[in-house]
Homo-oligomer: A and B are copies of this chain.
Amino acid sequence: MHEKDKAFLKNYSSDKFDKPSVAVDLLIYTLYEDELKILLVKRAESPFKDMLSLPGTFVGIEESLDDAVKRVLKAKAQIKEDIYFEQLYTWGDVNRDPRMRIISVSYMALVSAGTLENFNRDENISAMFYPVKDIIESDIEIAFDHKKIIEYGRERIKNKAEYMPIAFQFLEETFTLPQAQKVYEILLDKKLYKANFRKKISPLVEETEEFTSGAAHRPSRLYRRRYT
């Protein structure tokens, strides 16, 4: 390292030049019971003690943002696999945290119900999935500016769903088209026409030779996602 760099670094790192802290906060979504749900944790400490908040963590000095996200996924949702997530927005208002200056980089992660099978609900009374609709429409208070972040995420997921592929994240490896349609209907929060939905999604999926069975009606063919 150059001498000048050292000088710069020393000056910048000195105490008189305080830095903001950086955290990641996650919108971890899943779909079950025909609802979009999001993982929230009950705060154990002040400020906002006992209120719900997004799972998050501070970003370590030698840790990328993505790694911090993965660490939260593992710690708070018991998800060890690599799952889909994407960055949403960075919130930087000066007083968003009453303790100190914290800049929060928000991410959303989409998890299929299957991936959450080993998410132990009993052990995690502090971390639970709540219907997004309830959070947004009721006036339950949420810690920090996290309600705003949840609303922002809800809009983003709706927009993303319009352009299709993201909904597959909520489905298992194979799925029926009625299942896929249901996912879109929940994400977009509106009814879709069967025939039109199928026309639109057909280039994105490929048939398998499997069918559902047992139900008192015509079986449904299973599809898988087509990667092109």
Contact = CB atoms under 8 A, between A and B. Distances in A.
A119 to B, nearest CB: 27
A1 interface: yes
B105 A90 contact: yes
Given A19-B22, A99-B8, A47 B2 contact: yes
Interface stretch (A28-36, A56-64, A172-180, A218-226): A56-64
A183 interface: no
A103 to B, nearest CB: 6
Nearest to A63: B94
A18 B101 contact: no
Q: Count the copies.
A: 2
Interface residues of A, number: 36
A12 to B, nearest CB: 7
Contact of A5 (B8, B19, B47, B65): B47
Contact of A92 (B19, B46, B64): B64
A1 B65 contact: no
Contact of A103 (B18, B59, B66): B59
A20 interface: yes
Contacts of A18: 61
A100 interface: yes
